[in-house]
């Protein structure tokens, strides 16, 4: 066996490792004629590739190997019943179990409770995790929520203004009524902080039980085209956008702090 042949691996293994899909899903993609190697459709299995040399494409998009040491960024559309911890004592499935081994340990950025669905980012980038989860950065997460009953104008106003949880006022919230009927309402809620089960607890205080809760966006990253239970790697442009959110927030905080310091200094001089 030549050195070149030693570098070749099964195409299902490669595409699973870089986060395209599970090995079984890759096999289905091949049967559907969606996978090509060096501009030729993969017609049968087994198929062995050298990711460093071969032009491997899925739906026409070039799939490149993950460079050693590079940070990993995975977007998962979490199903109901899955927890966002590394391990669960109760034996429930964990979000990290739905993503193949990418060569380094990745962690959920923030949380979605076990009953909720929607997108969650998994990464080994601690700096970005801090920027996306710390409330001081104000990264907006968007949710679509189905609740029992119809909210009054006063209740909508209270949601928008913020209310008290655990003795501390929540930040103002953007709320839009997408649809309503005599028995249920469909809401879009945008939060810039994420306390434990905040949406469910606030709506329960207002007398409206949450029936379904789905996170559809984290900042500029949405669930478009990503089915529940599926995942994909973030594109470089998306990673750059998330980093820019943190950078912009840092600049704003710095300006605000400088302004407060200037006001205090002026006040002391009077």
The three-state secondary structure class of 179 is strand
What is the rounded CA–CA span in Å between residue 54 and residue 125? 29
What is the rounded CA–CA span in Å between residue 193 and residue 138? 6
Nearest to 70 by CA among 13, 112, 16, 17: 17
What is the rounded CA–CA span in Å between residue 51 and residue 63? 9
Q: Could you tell me if 4 and 50 are in contact, meaning their C-beta atoms sit under 8 angstroms apart? A: yes
What is the rounded CA–CA span in Å between residue 35 and residue 119? 26
Say how far residue 77 (Cα) sits from the centre of its chain: 7
User: How far is CA 51 from each of CA 6, 7, 13, 70, rounded to the nearest angstrom?
Assistant: 12, 8, 11, 16
Q: Could you tell me if 48 and 9 are in contact, meaning their C-beta atoms sit under 8 angstroms apart? A: yes
What is the rounded CA–CA span in Å between residue 123 and residue 185? 34
What is the rounded CA–CA span in Å between residue 110 and residue 172? 20
Q: Is 127 a catalytic residue?
A: no
Query: 50, 88, 113, 124: which one is catalytic?
Result: 113
Pairing of strands 56-58, 35-37: antiparallel
User: Would you name the residues annotated as active-site residues?
Assistant: 113
């Amino acid at each position: 066996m030549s050195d070149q042949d030693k570098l070749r691996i099964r195409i299902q293994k490669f595409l699973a490792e870089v986060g395209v899909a599970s090995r079984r899903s890759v096999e289905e993609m091949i049967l559907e004629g969606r996978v090509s190697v060096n501009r030729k459709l993969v017609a049968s299995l087994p198929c062995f590739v050298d990711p460093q040399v071969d032009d491997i494409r899925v739906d026409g998009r070039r799939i490149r190997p993950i460079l050693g040491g590079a940070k990993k960024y995975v977007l998962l559309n979490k199903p109901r019943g899955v927890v966002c911890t590394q391990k669960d004592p109760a034996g429930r499935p964990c979000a990290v179990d739905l993503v193949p081994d990418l060569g380094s340990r990745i962690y959920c950025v923030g949380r979605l409770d076990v009953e909720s669905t929607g997108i969650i980012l998994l990464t080994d980038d601690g700096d970005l995790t801090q920027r996306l989860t710390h409330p001081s950065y104000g990264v907006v997460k968007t949710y679509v929520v189905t609740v029992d009953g119809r909210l009054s104008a006063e209740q909508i106003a209270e949601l928008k203004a913020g209310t008290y949880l655990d003795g501390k006022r929540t930040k103002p919230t953007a709320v839009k009524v997408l649809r309503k009927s005599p028995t249920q309402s469909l809401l879009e809620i945008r939060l810039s902080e994420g306390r434990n089960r905040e949406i469910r607890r606030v709506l329960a205080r207002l007398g409206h039980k949450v029936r379904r809760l789905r996170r559809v966006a984290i900042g500029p990253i949405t669930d478009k085209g990503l089915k529940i239970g599926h995942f994909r790697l973030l594109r470089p442009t998306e990673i750059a956008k998330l980093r820019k959110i943190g950078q912009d927030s840092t600049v704003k905080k710095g300006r605000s702090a400088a302004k407060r310091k200037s006001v205090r200094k002026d006040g002391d001089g009077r």
